[in-house]
Amino acid sequence: MPQTTLHAFRDKDGTVPLDVWLDHLETRDEEAFVNCLAAITELEKRGYELRRPTADILDDGIYELRPHSAKGQYRILYFFSGQNVVVLTHGFFKKGWPVPLKEINRAKEIRELVRSNPKKYTAEWDY
């Protein structure tokens, strides 16, 4: 499989929420930060072929990366936007099971924004 191109959601003011979240995570839980970057790297290498335990499909084309640390479970949501192109939407700490519907709905809303104007709402991801 060819390498997957990674993009991240960029909001109206140019901020990339995933980068902000990862910056915060790096200071709070270094193990989780490293595991998140490793999961993203695997996604970049394997794309659609990535499966559990690293990734899983949630709902309506929204997927999750499933990194964890001793402190708990983390999730990074994403969707595919064309052949071998992924848009990472956002990350969060997961409490309990399943992934909260509000997080899935947030990823769906982001997907609609990206579809409406990909250049405005995405940035090449390079952390």
Domains of the chain: 5-124 (3.30.2310.20)
Q: How far apart are CA 72 and CA 40, in angstroms?
A: 18
Summarised one tens digit per residue, pLDDT across range 29-78 is 999 999 999 999 999 999 999 999 999 999 999 999 999 999 999 999 99
Which pLDDT belongs to residue 47?
94
**Distance (Å, whole) CA 107 – CA 92:** 12
More confident residue, 97 or 39: 39
> What pLDDT sits at residue 79?
98
Cβ atoms of residues 43 and 4 within 8 Å: yes
As a whole number of angstroms, the distance between CA 31 and CA 48 comes to: 26
> Tokens for 4?
């997957």
pTM of the model: 0.95
